Structure 1
Amino acid sequence: MTTTACATDTASGDESPDAAGAVRFPGFTIAADGSYAARLAPRGDVWCPERWSLDSAEPYAVPLPLDQPEEPGTEVLPLADGRVLVHRVADGRHLFSLLYPTGPGTGQLPLGAVETADLTLLPPSPSGSCAYALAPGERSSAVWLVAGGAFGPELVAQVPGRCSGGVWLDRTGRMLALDRELDGRTRTVAVDLERGGEVSPLLQIGDDSDDRLLLADPGSGFIMVRSDAPGHDRLGWGQLGSTLPVRFPEALRLEDCAVTPLAIQPGQVLSPEACAVALRIDGAGGSWLGVWSPQQRRTQQLAAPYGWLGCALWAPGRETQSAELLLPYVTEDTPCGLARITPPAPEPVPGPAPVPALAAAPAPSAPRPVPLQQAQLTGRLAGR
């Protein structure tokens, strides 16, 4: 199962745009291997961390209450062993603890604190045993190992510029992509956490464009980006290491709607153009699901279950070979729900033949990802 660690808690409605203009969903986070999820759940008038088990026959939730209720802004993140990392803020200090069920109660292991102005958890590491946080600053940004270290929080990288975002580029948790604002431009860079935070360019589409990485699939190298290189902010796709330009499909432009990529279908190592992408679509009528791939001209729009938490997981189909989308949801009658949707087969693409298969992505063991080639903003850029 491959997942994306972004969702919103419909009970709290806690959504906020990040520096990329995309919607950030801090309420529901899924482990990189899809085994567990965690959220800050309402319990009457207070808030309580809650762990979901997703790899069982039926999902189930385990509340992790403590004597003191949590503040609404507390961040939670699941580890692969079932423990839940909690990030609290008190008196200007960022405090970290691991919670775990202990029979009728909840165990808590304090990990230490970081003193800094701003700090937020990064998406779950693919290793599943570590957790990282990003502390942005005006001149430089710090990456902290906040769980999984030997002696509490540990500073592992200092990146020049103000950073945001956070996308893992490999399956080991070594290569981290950050969107860095420097000298008036925002570009994505790769940070090697095993080489002292060594920074290398990753995404530069135009000479004067602001380019941000939203999602990446380590297997195929398929990526989703947001850039103003076409003249205004657009969603696009490409492949790490490819000489083909980033493309900005018209299918990803929906009138009067905000489109947020949620998860890339895995398993398309030799044909990344076949990768399907799950999308969250927000409009005046609410939020619903979208599915798109470079092989189709239009985005499929599907109804989401009532109480949808705003995220999606790709998983192998139970009855067919087609991949399924798993959609977590919460209602009064179903406190822990997981709807399964098999997207319809895409309509055949009229006109020119599909783009040939791109070369396989660099091996995860490479010292750093191969930077994207600069896109030429002509010809087929706004096409497929």
Structure 2
Amino acid sequence: MTVCAIEITTTAPLTIAADGSYAARLAGDGEARYPERWTLAGPEPYAVPLPLAQPEEADSEVLPLADGRVLIHRRVAERHAFALLYPTGGAVAGPRTGELPLGSLAPGGDHVRVSLLPPSPDGHGAFALAASAAGTTVWQVTGGAFGQVATVPGRCSGGVWLDRAGRMLSLDCELDGTTKAVAVDLGRGGEVSPLLQIADGSDDRLLLADPDSGLLLIRSNAPGEHRLGWGVLGSCLPVRFPESLRGVTAVPFAVQPGQALMPETCGVALRFEDPGGTPGGGGASLGLWRPAERRVFRLGAPAGWLGTGLWSPQGRLHLPYTTAEVPCGIASLTLPASPPPPVRLDPATTAPRPVPLQQAPL
């Protein structure tokens, strides 16, 4: 599809817990894959392999929880099974990984895509998306009773948390030929309401959100081409599409936290993909940007970079990487304390309604 050619759909091969304490990935090569947990909260990172008796399939998904356990999603025949993995002090002979089955679902039909949503901000909940053209269901996998918690019309993708409690979830919903970001309130039985409606017939996706500042990173074709833009949750200002991001087909993967009511000063980390490149495979590079600045600073990524990272409130961007010499490493960059000389932001008119849950015209 044309949209897929424009949108960068590759995901980072490492997933970081919402609080930055742990990360998880599917390590190994070929048919010898196994889950691996990274501990990030200590003085230096270290990895713990979590192999079982049989290797994992390449399409299995893993997600870290704040308590150190790792959720794994596997496809088993026509079902999707979920389990928690954790290191044990078992005998030397045999796997030293404990496994706690949680449940499974059978979405029915080959046109249903089941995938894990990003880690919940509370660190304990985990959710899965079962999406098809007929409709999408959100399933709670852990952190509560296993089962369906929301139903959304249309085929949904993406998944961005809008708060720190893990209650408000944004999904990109494809319905009647267009894709719009909607908000799903998991605390009110999965109540669905509009989030982005920038222009009639435009595809408006939410890529990233920072609850502290309210900064939203958006991709939309409302300006006539697919462009990156930004808005503010709860603001009456419209979405802005800076010239510095025009023609940029990067994935924003981290926003500097702790910038309460200061979205313009938030550092944003962007992952660029060279044609045919993949994170960690030498094809990705890194960009740094603030909404208040007129340019994107593009940098070379560390060797073996895993395509994601974590930004501290102090302005340090931590980038996980793995090489033959350093199997579990973190490289750090410091965001400059002050931006370049002030520049005029893109002109915009006042929106009649706030960006969140309502409309945001150009």
Report if TM-score (shorter chain) is over 0.5. yes
Q: One-letter code of the match for 1:67?
A: A
The 2-side partners of 1:333 and 1:172 are apart by: 39
* 1:293 equivalenced with 2:279 (yes/no): no
Q: Which one of 106, 109, 112 corresponds to residue 97 of structure 2?
A: 106
Q: One-letter code of the match for 2:302?
A: P
Q: Which one of 227, 248, 260 corresponds to residue 234 of structure 1?
A: 227
What is the TM-score normalised by the length of structure 1?
0.84
The 1-side partners of 2:308 and 2:186 are apart by: 28
Shift of 1:160: 1.0
Q: Which one of 292, 303, 308 corresponds to residue 306 of structure 1?
A: 303
The 2-side partners of 1:262 and 1:372 are apart by: 25
Contact 1:242 1:372 (C-alpha < 8 Å) held by counterparts: no
What is the TM-score normalised by the length of structure 2?
0.88
Shift of 1:33: 0.6
Shift of 1:304: 1.4
Corresponding position of 1:173: 166
Q: Which one of 54, 58, 73 corresponds to residue 87 of structure 1?
A: 73
Corresponding position of 2:279: none
Q: One-letter code of the match for 2:106?
A: E
In structure 1, the residue corresponding to 2:98 is in which secondary structure? strand
Corresponding position of 2:270: 279
Give unmatched runs, 5+ long, in structure 2: 91-95, 276-281
Q: Which one of 124, 132, 135 corresponds to residue 127 of structure 2?
A: 132
* 1:267 equivalenced with 2:262 (yes/no): no
* 1:145 equivalenced with 2:137 (yes/no): no
Give unmatched runs, 5+ long, in structure 1: 1-16, 317-321, 363-368, 377-384
Q: Which one of 305, 309, 312 corresponds to residue 315 of structure 1?
A: 312
Deviations 1:239-283 (A, max 9, x none): 0121111111121235xx631111111111122111110011223
* 1:59 equivalenced with 2:38 (yes/no): no
The 2-side partners of 1:19 and 1:85 are apart by: 31
Taking a change above 3 Å as real, the CA distance of residues 219 and 45 of structure 1, as seen in their structure-2 partners, is same
Query: How many residues get paired?
Result: 341
Q: Which one of 322, 325, 328 corresponds to residue 333 of structure 1?
A: 325
Q: What is the percentage of aligned positions where both structures have the same residue?
A: 60
In structure 2, the residue corresponding to 1:119 is in which secondary structure? strand
Shift of 1:148: 2.2
Worse-matched range after superposition: 71-80 or 141-150: 141-150
The 1-side partners of 2:134 and 2:31 are apart by: 40
Q: Which one of 145, 157, 161 corresponds to residue 154 of structure 2?
A: 161
Shift of 1:221: 0.9
Taking a change above 3 Å as real, the CA distance of residues 186 and 43 of structure 1, as seen in their structure-2 partners, is closer
Q: One-letter code of the match for 1:375?
A: P
Q: One-letter code of the match for 1:174?
A: R
Corresponding position of 1:77: 63
